[in-house]
Structure 1
Amino acid sequence: SQYLNYWWPNLPDWLSGIILIVILTLANLVSAKAYGSLEFWFAMVKVVTIILMIVVGLMVIVFGLGNNWHPVGLSNLWSHGGFFPNGWKGFFFSLAVIAGSYQGIELLGIAAGETASPQKAIVKSVKSVIWRILIFYIGAIFVIVSIYPWNQLSAVGSPFVETFEKVGITGAAGLINFVVLTAAMSGANSGIYSASRMLFKLSVDHEVSPFFSKLSKRVVPNVAILTIAGWILVGFILNTILTQMSKTASNLFVIVYSASVLPGMVPWFVILLSELQFRKQNADLMKNHPFKMPLYPFYNYFATAALLIILAFMFINPDTRVSVSVGVVFLVIMSLIYFIRVRKHEEPEASEEADFENEHHLKKH
């Protein structure tokens, strides 16, 4: 809603929010292909913009384009306090933000179930992740911190906007606003897709009501999608009402969102530990496996240790302490509910087994 207000300042937030939720819900209801197509174009907008910014930025650095043809060079990388100007603590504090940025990458595994050739598609996607990180994250940040001193970035505003305007590209602010809008819609689109598939899987596994495992004629979990979209709409309405009542109520969104940081790491821990167990129990399958992770099991232990270090520094950092604490509370509550339910399911099974043994014993005598 805020991004749309850039072009239409008089457009009510509630109206633009509902329109966007409806569009994304319909895209997910049509088919998995429609979701993929929408996600492709969202990603294309981001990719083209970032690559264009990197190319323009390199021309500023090497040739001085937009800087009276005086090359900026790379001195900003080590000037103004050099590397780690705020010490190692600042570096480790930043890792929490980085980890949050990559949460959702495990969606590759969920998508495998709706891919025509998962062995080829998933392998190709996993391999491309490395190049995407190098280009879109490291490449873009390298250009930004080379052109602008790190201690002046807060005054710059958007480095993307400033970089484009520096070389005379008019309307850069509108362009970046459009890119950010597509990025936000991409996040919401992926959220509806992944959450609905998780709800569908829980229903199939009898963890929740079988009502959520219903499929439409287009073979999409329409009930699960509508449920997730419905709760997004409820959250949007509550956010709108509460912010109208009190400006401080906007902190509720931050708390709710922050609660996802630690739970978002849980799938990573599960994946890392599951692979260790899987490869031990299925050593025969690993002999001719076409896509084994290199340096196993070193990477599993290294990644697990890295995640634990990030969590430790999140507790130390006052800016993230609340968010990780909320995440701990959320996980404890969900774990208690899970174990109570498991125990309830096990008790009838245990009693049935005992009855069977007693009956067998009576018949024997």
Structure 2
Amino acid sequence: MTEKTEMARDLKNRHVQLIALGGTIGTGLFMGAGSSIKLAGPGIIFVYLITGIFAFLIMRALGELLVSDTSQHSFVNFITKYIGPRAGFIVGWTYWISWITIAMGDLTAVGVYMQYWLPNVPQWLTDLIVLLLLWGLNSITVKAFGETEFWFSLIKIVAIIGLILLGAILIAIKFKTPMGHASLANLVNYGGLFPTGMKNFILAFQMVFFAFLGIEMVGVTASETKNPKKIIPKAINEIPTRILLFYVGSLIAIMSIYPWTQYSGAASPFVKVFSSAGINSAASIINFVVLTASLSALNSCIFTTGRMMYALTDNTNPLHKLSRAQVPNRAINLSVAIISIAVVLNGFMQGEVFGFITSIATTTFLFIYGMVVLAHLRYKQQTKGLAKNVFLMPGAPYTDYLTLGFIMFVFVVLFFSTTTLYAALGAVIWLLILFFWSKWRVV
């Protein structure tokens, strides 16, 4: 039997659309929005808008690269091609290890959320069962992954739309709250749009930037998507609408029902809003939503790390093999085996240490996204505009330089807070280690 050498293109338009959407909506919106609201007040809306614009530009840069050659397995191939093998090596392994670490954090979160309903079941056991289930789904076919991610993302969408509709109703009827009435005026009546000052407004950018991690996952699906030249651009072009609706819309609803002063990082704003409307099971509903959000993230991590490991190896490597269903099972198996270490670590390495490692991993995405934009710049310079591409990044190369400037701005902001300073330094050290390793590893 002839060995399959190309992955199956079984991801449909609806799969890619929801994968793209799942990449822009994580647990941070449901659980972490209280912290960002407390930090910047209503000004957080503008932080999301500005960051969303640059997230879109990063995706347009990536999109133009992907459409230029749909045979490539991931964006790392383009970085290797246009910047060099060492750059591709550093970005590829940084990306793989970062998502492995984040997957461990997501797996831990799943266990914590399951404790809400199953307090007497050991956390490690629920972690193990969930990991085995998602491993099985990812190992069957790429379509099985797509279907799973479709439904996980749909749950998040329904929850956010439900919040926005509820907010609109409460504002329309001037719903009475302990603080007054639900009204759009609550956005400005408590110190204006920037009540905590410009310093906190600027500090909020690093919090919001990391809420968008995963937007690039749609690019990893390119080699397994039916008609990628049509579907990938469509998924990317709808990102601004999603950001406007789901992030900005939900934040406006949240701060219109209760003033921003009533929220904190200790509780989910979604629970507070749903509870105020008399929905007694609000806590259970939001716990279910954040559970599915974590499952969605973990599912995507397994998919992404498996594909990235496949892309980082060549035909001579045993990991660079496809199953009969044209899935890189060996690469997936290795990734899942390493992720499963979290099952053991949860008994010994909880709290700040585990969170610190995850924060280093997320910080490296500034470098990864910067390299994507730089690869796009090199692509434009090398092709000199002669490449026939119908999906051009708007305003390039000026928007490339602007986006690189924004990424650098967010990196500098990390050094103004002690909670992010050490993560930034850890990320720099990690990249330096890979840089020196690549000197003798990459020919």
TM-score range, shorter chain: 0.7 to 0.9
* Higher Rg of the two aligned structures: 1
Q: Does the aligned pair in 1 maintain the 2:323–2:329 contact within 8 Å?
A: yes
Alpha-carbon displacement from aligned partner over 1:297-334 (angstroms, at most 9, x marks no partner): 22111111011111111012112101111111111111
Relative to structure 1, the CA distance from residue 66 to residue 79 in structure 2 (aligned partners, 3 Å threshold; closer, same or farther) is closer
Q: Secondary structure at the match of 2:347?
A: helix
Relative to structure 1, the CA distance from residue 166 to residue 156 in structure 2 (aligned partners, 3 Å threshold; closer, same or farther) is farther
Letter in 1 for 2:328: P
Alpha-carbon displacement from aligned partner over 1:166-223 (angstroms, at most 9, x marks no partner): 222231111111000000011111111111111100112x7xx712111111111101
Q: Secondary structure at the match of 2:214?
A: coil
Match of 1:281 among 370, 374, 382: 382
Q: RCO greater where, 1 or 2, for CA within 8 Å and sep 6 or more? A: 2
Q: Which residue of 1 aligns with 2:367?
A: 266
Alpha-carbon displacement from aligned partner over 1:111-164 (angstroms, at most 9, x marks no partner): 101001101110110011111111111111111112222222028822212222
Q: Secondary structure at the match of 2:263?
A: helix
- 2:224 paired with 1:124: no
Distance 1:236 1:126 in 2: 35
Where do 1:349-364 residues align within 5 Å? none
Q: What's the CA shift for 1:79?
A: 2.4
Q: Does the aligned pair in 2 maintain the 1:259–1:326 contact within 8 Å?
A: yes
More off after superposition, 324-333 vs 288-297: 288-297
Q: Does the aligned pair in 1 maintain the 2:181–2:257 contact within 8 Å?
A: no
Relative to structure 1, the CA distance from residue 213 to residue 66 in structure 2 (aligned partners, 3 Å threshold; closer, same or farther) is farther
Relative to structure 1, the CA distance from residue 30 to residue 255 in structure 2 (aligned partners, 3 Å threshold; closer, same or farther) is same
Match of 2:196 among 78, 86, 103: 86
Relative to structure 1, the CA distance from residue 155 to residue 193 in structure 2 (aligned partners, 3 Å threshold; closer, same or farther) is closer
Distance 1:65 1:71 in 2: 5
Q: What's the CA shift for 1:232?
A: 0.7
Distance 1:83 1:162 in 2: 21
More off after superposition, 81-90 vs 38-47: 81-90
Distance 2:340 2:210 in 1: 24
Letter in 2 for 1:99: F
Letter in 1 for 2:269: P
Relative to structure 1, the CA distance from residue 188 to residue 11 in structure 2 (aligned partners, 3 Å threshold; closer, same or farther) is same
Distance 2:390 2:207 in 1: 34
Distance 2:237 2:311 in 1: 27
Match of 1:224 among 328, 331, 338: 331
More off after superposition, 289-298 vs 43-52: 289-298
Q: Secondary structure at the match of 1:290?
A: coil
Q: Does the aligned pair in 2 maintain the 1:39–1:189 contact within 8 Å?
A: yes
Q: Does the aligned pair in 2 maintain the 1:50–1:140 contact within 8 Å?
A: yes
Distance 1:232 1:261 in 2: 16
Alpha-carbon displacement from aligned partner over 1:328-355 (angstroms, at most 9, x marks no partner): 111111111112212xx3xxxxxxxxxx
Q: Which residue of 2 aligns with 1:212?
A: 319
Q: Does the aligned pair in 1 maintain the 2:356–2:423 contact within 8 Å?
A: yes
Q: Does the aligned pair in 2 maintain the 1:255–1:326 contact within 8 Å?
A: no
Q: Does the aligned pair in 1 maintain the 2:320–2:331 contact within 8 Å?
A: yes
Q: What's the CA shift for 1:86?
A: 2.3
TM-score w.r.t. structure 2 length? 0.72
Letter in 2 for 1:331: L
Letter in 2 for 1:267: I
Percent identical among aligned pairs is 34
Match of 1:316 among 416, 423, 427: 416
Q: What's the CA shift for 1:67?
A: 5.0
Where do 1:30-179 residues align within 5 Å? 30-65=140-175, 67=177, 72-154=182-264, 157-179=267-289
Q: What's the CA shift for 1:254?
A: 1.1
Q: Secondary structure at the match of 2:348?
A: helix
Q: What's the CA shift for 1:85?
A: 2.1
Q: Which residue of 2 aligns with 1:8?
A: 118
Relative to structure 1, the CA distance from residue 242 to residue 165 in structure 2 (aligned partners, 3 Å threshold; closer, same or farther) is closer
Letter in 2 for 1:223: R
- 2:363 paired with 1:256: no
Distance 1:9 1:311 in 2: 40
Q: Does the aligned pair in 1 maintain the 2:152–2:292 contact within 8 Å?
A: yes
- 2:396 paired with 1:296: yes
Letter in 2 for 1:229: V
- 2:124 paired with 1:20: no
Q: Secondary structure at the match of 1:210?
A: coil
Q: Does the aligned pair in 2 maintain the 1:315–1:321 contact within 8 Å?
A: yes
Q: Which residue of 2 aligns with 1:307?
A: 407
Q: Secondary structure at the match of 1:81?
A: coil
Alpha-carbon displacement from aligned partner over 1:55-101 (angstroms, at most 9, x marks no partner): 00111122224659x85212221122222222222112111111111
More off after superposition, 152-161 vs 180-189: 152-161
Alpha-carbon displacement from aligned partner over 1:257-279 (angstroms, at most 9, x marks no partner): 01112311222111111111111
Q: Which residue of 2 aligns with 1:331?
A: 431
Relative to structure 1, the CA distance from residue 339 to residue 155 in structure 2 (aligned partners, 3 Å threshold; closer, same or farther) is closer
- 2:299 paired with 1:189: yes
Q: Which residue of 1 aligns with 2:33?
A: none
Distance 2:311 2:265 in 1: 47
Q: What's the CA shift for 1:48?
A: 0.5
